[in-house]
Amino acid sequence: MTPTHSQAIPRKAARGFLRKYVFSTDHQIIGKQYYFLALFSALVAMLLSWLMRVHLAWPRLAIPGLGELSAAGAPNGMMTPEYYLSLLTMHGTLMIFFVLTTAPQSGFGNCFLPAQIGADEMAFPRLNMLSFWLTFTSLGALLSSFWARGGPATSGWTAYPPLSGLGSITGPGEGWGQSLWIISIALFCVGSLLGALNFITTTLDLRARGMTLMRMPLTAWAWFVTAILMLLSFAVLLAACVLLMLDRAAGTSFFIPAGLIVSGQMIQGHQGGSPLLWEHLFWFFGHPEVYIAILPAMGLTSHLLSCFARKPVFGYRAMVWATIAIGFLGFLVWGHHMFVSGMNPYSAFAFSVLTVVIAVPSAVKTFNWLGTLWGGRLRLTTAMLFALGFVSIFVSGGLSGIFLAEPPVDVQLHATYFVVAHFHLVMGMAAMFGIFSGTYFWFPKMFGRMMNETLGKIHFILTFIGAYCVFMPMYFLGMAGNVRRYAQFVDPYLQPLMPLHRFITVAALGLGAAQMIFVFNLFGSLFGGEKAGENPWEATTLEWVAASAGKDLVVYRGAYEYAVPGKEKDYVMQNAPDASGSRAEKGARDGNAN
Amino acid sequence: MATQTKLSVLEETRGGDGDGGNWGEGSRGRFGWDPGAALPVGLTGIWIAMASITMFFAAFTSAMVVRAGLGADWTRVALPHILYLNTAILLASSLTLELSKHCLKAGRAGQFSGWLFATAGLGIAFLAGQLDAWRELAARGVYLARNPACSFFYLLTAAHGIHLAGGLLALFYLVARHRRIAEGAIGGTALKVTTLYWHFMDILWLYLFLMLILWV
Amino acid sequence: MARVLSFTIVLGTAVTVILFWRRVWWFPPNISTQGAGVDREFGLTLLVTGILFVAAQLILAYCIGRGRKSGRAAYNTGNLRMEVARAVLAAATFIGLALSSYRTWARMYFIGAPRNALRIQVEAEQFAYWFRYPGPDGVFGPMHLRLVNDATGNYFGLDPTRDPASRDDIVTATLGIPENRPIELLLMSRDVIHSFYVPQLRIQQDIVPGMVIPIHFTATRTGDYEIVCTQLCGLGHYAMRAPLKVMKEPNFKKWLAKQAAEQ
Ligand code: HEM
Ligand SMILES: [Cu+2]
Ligand SMILES: [Cu+2]
C-alpha cells in the first residue's frame, strides 16, 4: 500500500520515466503538471486575447498568419464575426477553467497543501493522478474544437441555450464545437470533483500532530474552503452539462422552448423548456466558481503580506471566518447575474441584498491586509510586490461589484464593458497576480533554485501598470454603453470610443509582451537559477522545514509567528519546539489566534 | 464516479500508527478532530463523495420541480409497477449487507460470505428490474424525449443506476476477497465504506422514487 | 522599488479620480422618467465606493512607500473590536446602498404599466427586431407560428384574412414612440435569447424565447436613438440593432399613419 505519513516507510523509488514524471502519483509532480498545464493554457488564452483586441481596434486589418491558422475563420487574415466569438469562448473558458481553477488550487494546492499541514502525500494519490489526466483530456477536447467543422463554440463561456442547444442551425461552431465544449467541461467537472474530494480528505485527516485547524496557514484554509466550493458547485455544473447534452443530442426539452423558428426553419419536437433554467443552474455553479478562482489567491496574499512584512497576520481568526463566510454566502447570490434575465424581480432584490452582504467578508479581508502591512518591515521581493499588487487590483475591481449588485444600476451596466472591467480586475488579474506571487514565492521549493529578482521586478511593474491600462478604461467604455461580446463596433454611438479601444489594445499587447519576461525568467531559472537554501524567505510554515527534519512533524504554534518579542530571530517556525512550552506560552498563542 | 480508482483506494488507511495517545499541548483540533489520529481516509472520503453526489441529484430534482412548474407540456407518466418491487429489493439488499457485517463481527465467516453474496445478487436484481421498467415504458412508446416528465424519469433512474453500479463493483471487490476479509486480514475499511455507500444509494433511491411518484 | 510602486499607485488613483470627476467618458444623457433614479443611484454609489477606493489605495501606497524602518515590527495580531466595528460599518454602508436602489427598481419592475400606456409588441430574431402596434382597435391579432415568413414580411405570423383583429395591426422595423407617454413593450423572441437595450432610456431587458416579458417606461426627450442587443445571440450579435424614434405626439400619429399606409 501507499506509505503513510507517520510510518517511516521510505517512498518506493519510482521506476522509469513514465511512472515518475507522467503517470505519477506523487503530489508534487502532479502539482507541477497542473501548473504547467495552466501555464500553457494561459499563454494560448493570452494569444487569443491579443487577436481579439487587435481585431476590435482595427477591424479591417488583416492579421498576418491568422489566415494560415484558420482559413475559414479568418480568410486572408480578416477575422469573421463568428471566429471572434470562437476566440472569445475559448479565451474565457481557458482562463476560467484551465488557468484560474487549475493553477492556484490544483497546482499550488497539490504541491503545498500536504507540505503545509505536515502530511507527506495527498489522501488518495491514485485518484489524484486520475484527476489530473481527466483535466488533461478535458483540455485536449476543448482545444481539438479548433479543428472541428465550424470551429470552436461561439456561445461564450456561459453557453446559454437555445443558442448552445440546437446544433449548427444557430450558427457555425454550434455543431461539433459546442458538443466538444460540453464534453470538455463535463470531464473537467469530474476531474475537479475528484480533486476536491482529495483536498478535503487530506485536510481533515492528514494534518500533523498539533496542526489544529486554527493553526493552519491561510493558504491551507483557502484550499480547503475552495475544495468544498468545488465539490458542491461542479456537481451542479456536471448535471447541467448532462441536461444540455441531452437537449442537443436526444431531443429532450429541458432548456429548449417549443415553437422556435431559427433562420426561417421551424424547430420540431421540442416542448416548453426554459432557457432560464440553464441560467440558474449555470450561475449556481458560476458564482462559487469566481470564488474558487480568487480564494486561493486571497489566502496566498495574506500569507505573503505577513511573511514579507515580518508581522503576524492582522486578525487571523477574522480571515478564517471571512473565508468560510465567502464560501457559504457564495452559494446564495447567483441571481445577481440574472437581474435582467426575466427572472422574478422580487427575488432579484433579495439577491441584491445578499450580494452586498458577501462584499463584507471581502472588505474585512482588505482591512486586515492593510492592517498587516501597517507598521510592517516590508521586504519588497517580487513575490511581495505581486501580493501588494493583488490588494490594489482587488480593490479596484471589487468596488465596482457594488454597482452591479444594485439591480437598477446593473440594468444600465449589465453586459457592457463595465462588467468586463470588473471581472478582469477582481478575478482575472487579481488571481493572475496570485499565481505570479505564488510562483516567485514557491519556485525555490518546487525547483530548488531561485528566480531572478531583477527580471521579476521588471515583470511586476510592467504587469501592474499594464493591467490598469488595459482594464480601468473599460469601466468608461461600459458607462458609455459599449456592449460586450461584440465582434466589431459598428454602431454610430460607439465610434467616439474607438481611440480608447486602440489605447487598450496597445496596452494589452504591452501587457502580453511583459509576460514573456516571466516565461523567460521561469525557464531560465529552472535550469540556471541560483541554488536555493532551505528557507530562503525566512518563513514559518511547514513547507519550508528542512527535509532533514524528518517526516514526523509536530506543530507547536500558529502559522504567522513573526516578530515575536523575546525571540532570537524575528520568526518562529510552526514546528519549533519550545523550551518554555508552558501555559504562558500557550496563552500568548491563544491571544494571537484572535 | 471513477469506480476503478475508487476500488483501489477503498482500503487505504492513513494517519497515525495507532498510538492515538496524548501528544502534548495543542494536539486536539478546535473542531474536535484529532489531528494525526488514525482515521481511515476512505471513510472520510466516502462521506465527502456522498455530499457531492447529493448536490448532483439535488440539481436534477430541483430542475425537475422547476420544469414541472412551467406548465402546459408536463404530462404525467404512469410509473411501471415493477419499481415497487425494485424498491423492496434494494431495501432488502441493505438489510443483507448489514447482516453480513454483523456476522463478520460475530465471527461467523460462512454467513458473512453468504449475506455478502446475497447483497450483490440483490443489487444485480435491482438493476435488472430498473432495466425492465425502461423496457416496459419503451413498449408503451414512452421514450426519453416523448415529454419532459419521462425525460426526467429516464434521467434520474439512469443517473442513480450508474452510481449504484459503482457500489456494485465495490461489492464485487469484496466478494472476490471474501475469504481474506473473513480472516480479518484485509478490508475492514473497504467493507465499511461500501456499506455506507450502499445505504446511501438506498436512501437516494427512496428520495428519487418519492420525487418520481410526486412529479412524474 | 518601494518609491516606484507607491508613486504608481498614487498616480493611478489620481488619474482615475480625475477621469471620473471630469466625466471624460460618461453615460449618454438620460431620456426617461425612471432614468434619473438610476443616475442618482450610480452617483451615490460612485461617491461611497470612490471614497473607499481612494482611502484603500492611499493607505496601501503609504504602507509601501513609508520607507524602511529598522528593528522589528510590533507583534500585533489584530484588534477584535476594531475589526468588528469596521465589518459592521461596511455592512451598513453596502446594505444601505442596496436598499436605496429599491425605489427605482420597484418603479421599473414591481408595478405594471399605467392603463393609458401604449402597448407595442417586440419580436426579436437572429439578427433583427420587429415591432407591432395594435392599431385603432387596440387589440393584437393572434400569431400563427406556421405563417411566420420573413421573405413576405409576415414577421409575426398574422392572418388578416381570418383574424379581423390583425387587419389594422401595424408592423414596423423602427420603434416609433410618442414623448411623455407611458410605453409598454411586450418582448418576445423567436429563436435564441436576445436583449433590448437603449442606454439613453436606462433600460435593458433580456428577450427570452418561450416567454413574453413586459417592460415599461416613459421617454422624455425627442430624438433618434438606437436599440442594441446585449445578449450573445450568434455571429450577427454585434450588428443587431434597430432605430428608436421618440416624437412629439402629433408627429407620432402622423408617423404611425404613414407606416400603416405603407403596409
Ligand atoms: C492578457 C490579458 C487579457 C486580455 C487583453 C483580455 C481580453 C479580453 C477580451 C478582449 C475579451 C472579450 C470582451 C468581449 O468581447 O466582450 C475578454 C473576455 C473574457 N476574458 Fe479576458 N483578457 C485577459 C485576461 C483574462 C484573464 C486573466 C481572465 C481570467 C478570468 C479572463 C477571462 C475572461 C472571460 C471569462 C471573458 C468573457 C468571455 C465571455 O464573454 O464568454 N481574461 N477578455
Ligand atoms: Cu456572481
Ligand atoms: Cu444579440
C135-147, pLDDT tens digit by residue?
A: 898 899 999 999 9
C-alpha grid cell, residue B163? 452510481
3-state secondary structure (DSSP) of residue A498: helix
DSSP state of A265: E
Alpha-carbon span A248 to A252, nearest angstrom: 8
C84-134, pLDDT tens digit by residue?
A: 999 999 999 999 999 988 888 988 888 889 989 999 999 999 999 999 999
Nearest to residue A375, comparing CAs of A300, A310, A316?
A310
Return the number of other C-beta atoms located less than 10 Å from residue C253's C-beta: 12
A310-366, pLDDT tens digit by residue?
A: 999 999 999 999 999 999 999 999 999 999 999 999 999 899 999 999 999 999 999
Chain B interface, mutation test: which of A221, A238, A252, most B Cβ atoms within 10 Å? A252
Nearest to residue A87, comparing CAs of A486, A495, A489?
A486
Spatial contact of B119 and B96, defined as CB atoms under 8 Å apart = yes
| Inter-CA distances, B214 with B64, B149, B153, B160, Å | 11, 11, 12, 18
**Confidence band (pLDDT; 50, 70, 90) for A120?**
confident
Q: Is the pLDDT of residue C169 over 80?
A: yes
Q: How far apart are the first and last CA of chain B?
A: 27
Closest-CA residue in chain B for A277?
A: B63
Residue A577 domain-assigned (yes or no): yes
Q: What is the CATH number of the domain that holds A187?
A: 1.20.210.10
**Ligand 1 atom with least separation from CA of A423:** 30
DSSP H helical segments within A406-497, as ranges? Answer: 407-413, 417-423, 430-447, 453-479
Mean residue pLDDT across chain A: 91
Distance to chain C for A268, nearest Cα, Å: 12
DSSP state of A483: B
Concatenate the DSSP letters of all residues of B169-200 into one string.
HHHHHHHHTHHHHHTTSS-HHHHHHHHHHHHH
Q: What is the pLDDT of residue A566?
A: 85
Phi, psi of C224 (to 5 degrees): -105, 125
Q: What is the pLDDT of residue A549?
A: 65
Distance to chain C for A138, nearest Cα, Å: 25
- Judged by CB atoms closer than 8 Å, whether chains meet at B151 and A232 is answered as no
C-alpha grid cell, residue B170? 465495490
pLDDT cut 90: percent of chain B above it: 58
A252-276, pLDDT tens digit by residue?
A: 999 999 999 998 899 988 888 999 9
Give the pLDDT mean for B188-213: 94
The 3-class secondary structure across A173-222, one letter per residue, is CCCHHHHHHHHHHHHHHHHHHHHHHHHHHHHHHCCCECCCHHHCCHHHHH
- What CATH number is given for C118-261 in this structure? 2.60.40.420
A 519-558 near B (Cβ less than 8 A) = 554-557
Q: Is the pLDDT of residue A301 over 90?
A: yes
3-state secondary structure (DSSP) of residue A227: helix
β-bridge mates for residue C224, sequence order: C245
What CATH superfamily is the domain B2-15+39-215?
A: Cytochrome c oxidase, subunit III, four-helix bundle (1.20.120.80)
Question: Taking the domains of chain B in order of start, what are their residue ranges?
Answer: 2-15+39-215
The 3-class secondary structure across chain C, one letter per residue, is CHHHHHHHHHHHHHHHHHHHHCCCCCCCCCCECCHHHHHHHHHHHHHHHHHHHHHHHHHHHHHHHCCCCCCCCCCCCCCHHHHHHHHHHHHHHHHHHHHHCHHHHHHHHHCCCCCCCEEEEEEEECCEEEEEECCCCCCCCCCCHHHCECCCCECCCCCCCCCHHHHCCEEECCEEEECCCEEEEEEEECCCCEEEEEHHHCEEEEECCCCCEEEEEEECCCEEEEEECCCCCCCCHHHCEEEEEEECHHHHHHHHHHHHHHC
Return the number of other C-beta atoms located less than 10 Å from residue A50's C-beta: 18
pLDDT cut 70: percent of chain A above it: 94
Looking at residue A333, its amino acid is V
Alpha-carbon span C123 to C118, nearest angstrom: 16
Q: Does residue A271 belong to the interface with chain B, where contact is any CB pair within 8 Å?
A: yes
Residue A451 domain-assigned (yes or no): no
A190-230, pLDDT tens digit by residue?
A: 999 999 999 999 999 889 888 999 999 999 999 999 999 99
Spatial contact of C231 and A279, defined as CB atoms under 8 Å apart = no
Looking at residue A51, its amino acid is L
Return the number of other C-beta atoms located less than 10 Å from residue C22's C-beta: 9
Residue A46 domain-assigned (yes or no): yes
Residue A329 domain-assigned (yes or no): no
| Inter-CA distances, A385 with A264, A301, A441, A524, A563, Å | 57, 10, 11, 21, 21
**Confidence band (pLDDT; 50, 70, 90) for A35?**
very high
β-bridge mates for residue C130, sequence order: C123
Nearest to residue B196, comparing CAs of B58, B45, B86, B55?
B45
Alpha-carbon span C241 to C124, nearest angstrom: 10
Q: What is the pLDDT of residue A4?
A: 36
Return the number of other C-beta atoms located less than 10 Å from residue C113's C-beta: 17
CA A260 to chain centre: 37
Q: What is the pLDDT of residue A567?
A: 86
Residue position matching grid coordinates 424581480: A345
Spatial contact of A312 and A563, defined as CB atoms under 8 Å apart = yes
A484-542, pLDDT tens digit by residue?
A: 999 999 999 999 999 999 999 999 999 999 999 999 999 999 999 999 988 999 999 99
Domain count, chain A: 2
Closest-CA residue in chain A for B74?
A: A272
Give the pLDDT mean for B15-33: 31
B59-88, pLDDT tens digit by residue?
A: 999 999 999 988 778 888 899 999 999 999
Give the pLDDT mean for A87-97: 97
Name the domain boundary from A164, A198, A218: A218
Give the pLDDT mean for C239-246: 96
Mutate-to-test residue for ligand 1 from A48, A289, A420, A519, highest number of ligand atoms within 8 A of CB: A420
Residues of C in contact with A367 (CB under 8 A): 83, 86-87
Mean residue pLDDT across chain B: 82
β-bridge mates for residue C132, sequence order: C121, C171
Q: What is the pLDDT of residue C68?
A: 63
Residue position matching grid coordinates 490598469: A468
Q: What is the pLDDT of residue B146?
A: 85
Give the pLDDT mean for A545-566: 83
Burial code (b: 16+ CB inside 10 Å, e: under 16) for A430-457 equals bbbbbbbbbbbbbbbbbbebbbbbebbb
Q: What is the pLDDT of residue A357?
A: 93
Q: What is the pLDDT of residue C73?
A: 86
Cα three-residue angle A370-A371-A377, rounded to 5 degrees? 90
Alpha-carbon span B35 to A202, nearest angstrom: 11
- Residue with the nearest Cα to atom 33 of ligand 1? A92
Does the pTM surpass 0.90? The reply is yes
A441-464, pLDDT tens digit by residue?
A: 999 999 999 999 999 999 999 999
A153-171, pLDDT tens digit by residue?
A: 999 999 999 999 999 999 9
Nearest to residue A413, comparing CAs of B141, C195, C115, C202?
C202
Return the number of other C-beta atoms located less than 10 Å from residue C82's C-beta: 13
Alpha-carbon span A568 to A413, nearest angstrom: 56
Pocket of ligand 1 from Cβ distances under 6 Å: A 46, 49, 52-53, 88-89, 91-92, 95-96, 100, 156-158, 420, 424, 427-428, 432, 470, 484-485, 508, 511-512
Concatenate the DSSP letters of all residues of A38-52 into one string.
HHHHHHHHHHHHHHH
**Confidence band (pLDDT; 50, 70, 90) for B39?**
low
Select the residue of A126, A207, A210 nearest B5 (Cβ to Cβ).
A126
Mean residue pLDDT across chain C: 93
**Confidence band (pLDDT; 50, 70, 90) for B25?**
very low
Residue A297 domain-assigned (yes or no): no
**Confidence band (pLDDT; 50, 70, 90) for A592?**
very low
Ligand 1 center–CA A95 separation, angstroms:
8
**Confidence band (pLDDT; 50, 70, 90) for B167?**
very high
Cα three-residue angle C168-C172-C174, rounded to 5 degrees? 145
Q: How many CA atoms within 13 Å lie on the side-chain side of A102? A: 30
Q: What is the pLDDT of residue B30?
A: 28
**Confidence band (pLDDT; 50, 70, 90) for B9?**
very low
Q: What is the pLDDT of residue B70?
A: 84
C73 versus C45: the higher-pLDDT residue is C45
The 3-class secondary structure across A295-336, one letter per residue, is HHHHHHHHHHHHHHHCCCCCCHHHHHHHHHHHHHHCCCCHHH
Q: At what angle do helices C2-21 and A453-479 cross, to 10 degrees?
A: 10
Distance to chain B for A392, nearest Cα, Å: 34
B8 versus A330: the higher-pLDDT residue is A330
CA C38 to chain centre: 9
ipTM of the complex: 0.96
Question: Taking the domains of chain C in order of start, what are their residue ranges?
Answer: 2-69+80-109, 118-261
Residues of C in contact with A91 (CB under 8 A): none
Nearest to residue A66, comparing CAs of A85, A87, A46?
A87
Spatial contact of A560 and C44, defined as CB atoms under 8 Å apart = no
The 3-class secondary structure across A509-525, one letter per residue, is HHHHHHHHHHHHHHHHH
C-alpha grid cell, residue C86? 469596521
Spell out the residues 6+ positions from residue C81 whose beta carbon is closer than 8 angstroms to its own. Answer: none
Residues of A in contact with C232 (CB under 8 A): 85, 154-156, 158, 160, 163, 485
Ligand 3 center–CA A340 separation, angstroms:
14
The 3-class secondary structure across A130-180, one letter per residue, is HHHHHHHHHHHHHHHHHHCCCCCCCCCCCCCCCCCCCCHHHCCCCCHHHHH
Cα three-residue angle A587-A592-A593, rounded to 5 degrees? 100
Residue position matching grid coordinates 432560464: A276
Give the pLDDT mean for A365-378: 93
**Ligand 1 atom with least separation from CA of A99:** 29
Q: Is the pLDDT of residue A131 over 60?
A: yes
Checking DSSP bridges between strand C213-218 and strand C182-189, what pairing results, if any?
antiparallel
**Confidence band (pLDDT; 50, 70, 90) for A551?**
low
Residue A291 domain-assigned (yes or no): no
C48-77, pLDDT tens digit by residue?
A: 999 999 999 999 999 998 866 778 888 988
Nearest to residue A414, comparing CAs of C226, C231, C107?
C231
**Confidence band (pLDDT; 50, 70, 90) for A550?**
low
**Ligand 1 atom with least separation from CA of A52:** 10
Among A177-181, B3-7, C90-94, which is the least confidently predicted range?
A: B3-7
A235-252, pLDDT tens digit by residue?
A: 999 999 999 999 999 999
Name the domain boundary from A218, A239, A263: A218
Q: What is the pLDDT of residue C72?
A: 85
Question: What is the domain range of residue A573?
Answer: 535-594
- For chain B, the chains sharing at least 3 beta-carbon pairs closer than 8 angstroms are A
Among A299-303, C70-74, C192-196, which is the least confidently predicted range?
A: C70-74
